[in-house]
Chains A and B, each alone.
Chain A
Amino acid sequence: MEKGKGVMVGGRRWAVDFTDNSTSPSRDIPDPPGFSRSSQDQDDSTLSRQKKDAESNWKSQKAWEVAQAPFKNLLMMGFMMWMAGSTVHLFSIGITFSALWQPISALQGVGKVFEPYKDSRVDLLGPKLLFIALNLGGLALGVWKLNTLGLLPTHASDWVFSLPPAQEVEHSGGGIPLC
């Protein structure tokens, strides 16, 4: 990092990159004699297929693992919530809000979580669904906790609290005569 920065900022050091990536798309240079691209592909394929199978297996396995990870989190959260109790104080509020925030942030980053395991041969739908479901479960747990803390407007008292008192049609005044 130091060096790179040095190049950019100072410009004192220099380098030439010999690798040319742009060759592959433009195949204007003929293959050398005796080189058969297809045979090499086929030759390679057996070896690489095994390798790729293993990789995709590994990937899907990993994806499932990742998908199941929120479950542990869920249990952990449940335990924490149980510990926090049902009275409103700083600790319980903190835990509840983190319990709400974690699933939401995880759901927002579903794509990112499964990015490394993206493969044409790996079916990520299952793990993704599981991941989403578990996170939704976590969210539900958070909401339930919020409700047990009494912070959700699910009761009549939450809705009538700001209603002004009803007006009376009749008006009366008077009292003991002034003396």
Chain B
Amino acid sequence: MGNGMIRFFLVLLLFLSSAEYIFSLYEDQVGLMDWHQRYVGKVKHAVFHTQKTGRKRVAVSTEENVVALLDLRHGEIIWRHVLGANDAVDAVDIALGKYVITLSSEGSILRAWSLPDGQMVWGSFLQGSNLSKSLLSLPVNLKANKGNVILVFSKGCLHAVSSIDGEVLWEKDLSAESIEVQQIIRPLGSDMIYAVGFVGSSQFDAYQINAKNGELVKHKSADFPDGFYGDLLLVSSDILVSLDATRTSLVTIDFQKGEIIFKKTHVSDIVDESFGTAVLLPSELSGMFAVRFNTLLVFIKVTIEGKLEVVDKITNAAAVSDALSFSEGQQAFALVEHVDRKILLTMKLVHDWNSDLLKESIAMDLQRGMVQKVFINTYIRTDRSQGFRALIVMEDHSLLLLQQGEIVWSREEGLASVIDVTTSELPVEKKGILVVKVEQSLFEWLKGHVLKLKGTLMLAGPEDIAAIQGMRLKSSEKSKMTRDHNGFWKLLIVLTKAGKLYALHTGDGRVVWSLLLPSLRESGSCKRPTGLSVYQWQVPHHHAMDENPSVLVVGRCRPNWDAPVALSFVDTYTGKELKSMGLIHSCAQVIPLPFTDSTEQRLHLLIDAEKHAHLYPRTSEAIGILQHEFSNIYWYSVEADNGIIRGHVLTSNCIGMVDEYCFTSRELWSIVFPSESEKIIATATRKLNEVVHTQAKAIADQDVMYKYISKNLLFVATSAPKASGEFGMAQPEESCLVVYLIDTVTGRILHRMTHHGSQGPVHAVLSENWVVYHYFNLRAHRYEMSVMEIYDQSWVDNKDVWKLVVGKHNLTSPISLYSRPAVVTKSQSYFFTHSVKAIAVTSTAKGITSKQLLIGTIGDQVLALDKRYLDPRRSLDPTQAEKEEGIIPLTDSLPIIPQSYVTHALNVEGLRGIVTLPAKLESTTLVFAYGVDIFFTRIAPSRTYDSLTEDFSYALLLLTIVALIAAIFVTWIMSERKELQEKWT
């Protein structure tokens, strides 16, 4: 019955549900299937705000360009601002006890945020020409007419800014002096400011400036023939420390006396042994400084005479805080060391090294890595003694508050910088576990059901309703660690910038396990490792069921693309690294092949910089499988900078190498775009695991169109080089967007289309036989979205029903792309209101359910848009048959239905990507959106036609059945009785 039956069911469906498919939630359904986690990112700098009364808070700025205020008690975010991608925060401080001051965008924007609520009070744009270090200093007691003065050095200019309204009081341009200012120093209580820095590599300059009006008072300059390396460090109000160019000598600079005095001390003179090159730690410890030699940390004191004295040498030190002054002018700083599996936090007085104010050892999860930063704060304990709390930033970017030898709270800030996501199934449920659980909480279970019954019978009071809602949100079903029937619960395997792998449970978003990958940690051979991507390595089913699934993590030692690759294989059930390989060859591409070996390990080809292909897993079985399909394996590379796309085919084993897993490849074809008019700005391919149910598409009047479904389809968008930058750089006449559909096996251009007067950025998604892309139309001054569908013409002749009935057709036989199937494309464009950050499409288990586009809007929300709105067959006046088919009359712009925001009232701040995963239930797609925040939900693009909805009242159904059975019994008894009575009469 095929189509007929499906139509019939569709009609039934239409009867059951309303005609308009809109994804929407009721208020009490929020949080039932979605979760949202808010983060700030890796903390760069933290400033405490702990007055005697009121909430204890800490203002932080992070690597994700976030400014936030955190509550010190529980660590939750009080307020947060995500600045733009190129608006990195350089410095943060608190002024007047009520403003959080941030300097961002390489020192060009100074903003003040109201401390309690995070509203912006003022913002100033600081002018300047040169690129330079950005320094922010808030001197105490430097008063002007209007409140305190904020000193900012940025872009070669020293600015004094009023902290009340952000007005620039004066500015002193130092850019003409070609000085690289390293420090802005204001000795306590004086009206003078010193700007010190280097000119060239070997000249030290100091400018003395009047803090009241910005006038230059004195300029001193001195040559240091040995040259300087790195930064200047202020040790006391008049002494600076730096390293010489060879990094073997320490240089102290006394600049406040009549002339500048350099004093050079060779490292080996004060430290007995030589440990290699020295690095100055940027911690500001008054009268002291710290130098790191590989693993050794040496504290050196500067005596009044300007002599250097070694105070202590510490081997396992991880981080040192700035000095913090507390009661009676005493100054203390924190030192963190790693001892075994614990971290040792020591608070030391600056002037009295031998006495420790505090020494606490805290057990620390090994997966958090090393301590990278520590910020300290004091408080008065209940017994009036001085207490210290420390905020530490770990290697995995997590943020922890330590107080009294305990971790008060921790935040998994690593999740704010997700690089790649994949998924893993949960273990299959084993019998016998569940029973115990139910028995234990039988009473709870009963109570819950009584409450639910009360709810359905509308007997519940407001407290009961709240309790029911709480129960729904914290249902134990959601956190089960076994596979569920609908396939909703999975593990999201998330790779973060810190090189840490997290497994998140899709039910409630908790971290099931986390692993700081050893191969992605800094080591001697791997200086700046970066994680690249994560792939499903082994997905056991059928015959390899007893194996645990595993993922492949690909990383690289240095950010450049010819750096050696590091591979890790991680078990997704236990979170343990199974094995790792490193430093073998470089890696430009990772190509998962559509073949698996007998243990369900997927074959992967890694293409290195020399265009050799390396096969993984390294087994002879894998080679056997590859050899079988050898001539059919191709790969392509998109060289965006050169404007070339090249196609390659594998040829033979590598010559001159005894590596049987290495293969050479030969260039087959190349597409060269004219560099003066076209620049590649975006590409899109189909997702590898996308399932397409059928190739045929029935259209009105029972005709069939055959979709061109190819896994080897590449969408490329090019734009005029002039228009590939910001808006307003190009006139509509000179900008033009060209889109291509390319077959990556043969290099054949299937379709080419030009959008005149349009420009990027282009966001595109390719699925089944269509591609949807978003770009800017310069002529109309609006964003547009276009859809392009591609159909196969070579099968159109299959019209004989009888042949199809008996199966005599070639529709399912394997095809070669060299047969050059005839294709036809249809396309249409629409206006779209939003600019777009990311675009994705829903994917379901069998590919039957209709699709929705998931659009990450500029407002950091995810909008679900039915694919039906992007259908090139839409026309202004569709015929009756077309209407029946579900074609919507053509409108010039795409509708944005407020209820169809998947993220409802939430924002996924700094949205970067959207990932969709199919659930086992055909109607349902799991959606994971990540940015600074992470968000997960599940959506049903055509409603949950294959299951009862969450709000379906089982109790009512049960009640009805019971009532009906009771009614049957009652009437039966009554009729019996009546009959008997009649017989007696």
Contact = CB atoms under 8 A, between A and B. Distances in A.
Interface of A: 10, 87-90, 93, 150-179
Given A151-B1, A164-B812, A175-B683, 13 more contacts: A151-B4, A152-B4, A155-B703, A158-B702, A160-B798, A161-B696, A164-B694, A171-B712, A172-B635, A172-B712, A173-B635, A175-B714, A178-B589
B634 A177 contact: no
Contact of B814 (A88, A155, A168): A168
A165 B607 contact: no
Contacts of B744: 172, 174
7 contacts: A153-B1, A157-B696, A162-B2, A163-B811, A164-B693, A165-B812, A166-B811
A166 B815 contact: yes
Contacts of B703: 155, 157
Contacts of B639: 177
B702 A169 contact: no
A153 B6 CA distance: 11
Contact of A156 (B8, B632, B704): B704
A176 B640 CA distance: 7
Interface in B695-709: 695-696, 698, 702-704, 706-707, 709
A90 B15 contact: yes
B561 A156 contact: no
B303 interface: no
B804 interface: yes
B801 A169 contact: no
A172 B805 CA distance: 34
B761 to A, nearest CB: 15
A150 B837 CA distance: 43
A157 B703 CA distance: 6
B647 A172 contact: yes
3 closest Cβ pairs, A-B complex: A173-B591, A159-B804, A158-B2
Contacts of B695: 160, 163-166
A154 B702 CA distance: 9
B815 A169 contact: yes
Given A170-B634, A175-B638, A178-B590, A156 B804 contact: yes
B942 interface: no
B588 A177 contact: yes
Contact of A153 (B4, B594, B712): B4
A163 B812 contact: yes
Contacts of A168: 710-712, 814-817
A61 B704 CA distance: 54
Contacts of B633: 170-172
B589 A173 contact: yes
B145 interface: no
Interface centre among B638, B693, B696 (most CB of A within 10 A): B696
A170 to B, nearest CB: 4
B935 to A, nearest CB: 26
B393 interface: no
Interface centre among A90, A151, A166, A167 (most CB of B within 10 A): A166
Contacts of B814: 166-169
Contacts of A160: 694-696, 704, 706, 798, 804, 809, 811
Interface string B618-654: 0000000000010011111111100000010000000
A156 B712 contact: no
A85 to B, nearest CB: 11
Contacts of B629: 171
Nearest to A166: B815
A88 B696 CA distance: 22
A162 B694 CA distance: 6
Nearest to B806: A159
Contact of A173 (B556, B593, B640): B593
Interface in B677-697: 683, 685, 692-696
A109 to B, nearest CB: 28
B7 A174 contact: no
A174 B801 contact: no
B609 to A, nearest CB: 9
A171 B814 CA distance: 12
Interface string B518-536: 0000000000000011000
A158 B640 CA distance: 45
A151 B703 CA distance: 14
A25 to B, nearest CB: 41
Interface in B192-246: none
Contacts of A155: 3, 698, 702-704, 801
Interface centre among A90, A155, A172 (most CB of B within 10 A): A172
A175 B713 CA distance: 11
Contacts of A157: 2-3, 696, 698, 702-704
Nearest to A179: B561
Contacts of A170: 632-634, 712, 745, 816-818
Contacts of A87: 884
Given A88-B7, A89-B11, A178-B589, A169 B637 contact: no
Interface centre among A150, A152, A162, A171 (most CB of B within 10 A): A171
Nearest to A167: B814
Contact of B6 (A161, A163, A176): A161
Contacts of B3: 150, 153, 155, 157-158, 161
A172 B804 contact: no
B532 A178 contact: yes
Contacts of B812: 163-167
Nearest to B10: A88
Interface centre among A87, A158, A170 (most CB of B within 10 A): A170
Contacts of B101: none
A175 B685 contact: yes
B190 interface: no
Contacts of A150: 3-4, 7, 702
B654 to A, nearest CB: 19
B862 interface: no
A5 to B, nearest CB: 9
B839 interface: no
B709 A165 contact: yes
Nearest to B695: A165
Interface in B487-502: none
Contacts of B593: 171, 173
A174 B607 contact: yes
A160 B588 CA distance: 41
B205 to A, nearest CB: 39
Given A153-B3, A158-B3, A177 B637 contact: yes
B801 A178 contact: no
A156 B702 CA distance: 8
Interface in B970-984: 983
A34 B683 CA distance: 118
B476 interface: no
A174 B6 contact: no
Contacts of A171: 593-594, 629, 632-634, 711-712, 745
Contacts of A93: 8
Given A153-B1, A156-B800, A165-B692, A177 B589 contact: yes
Contacts of B706: 160
A87 B14 CA distance: 14
A9 to B, nearest CB: 8
B737 interface: no
Nearest to B646: A174
Nearest to B709: A165
B946 to A, nearest CB: 17
B592 interface: yes
A165 B607 CA distance: 29
Contacts of B591: 173-174
Contacts of B51: none
A163 B2 CA distance: 10
A152 B696 CA distance: 18
Interface in B511-562: 532-533, 554, 556, 559, 561
Interface centre among B559, B592, B714, B801 (most CB of A within 10 A): B801
A171 B628 CA distance: 13
A163 B696 CA distance: 8
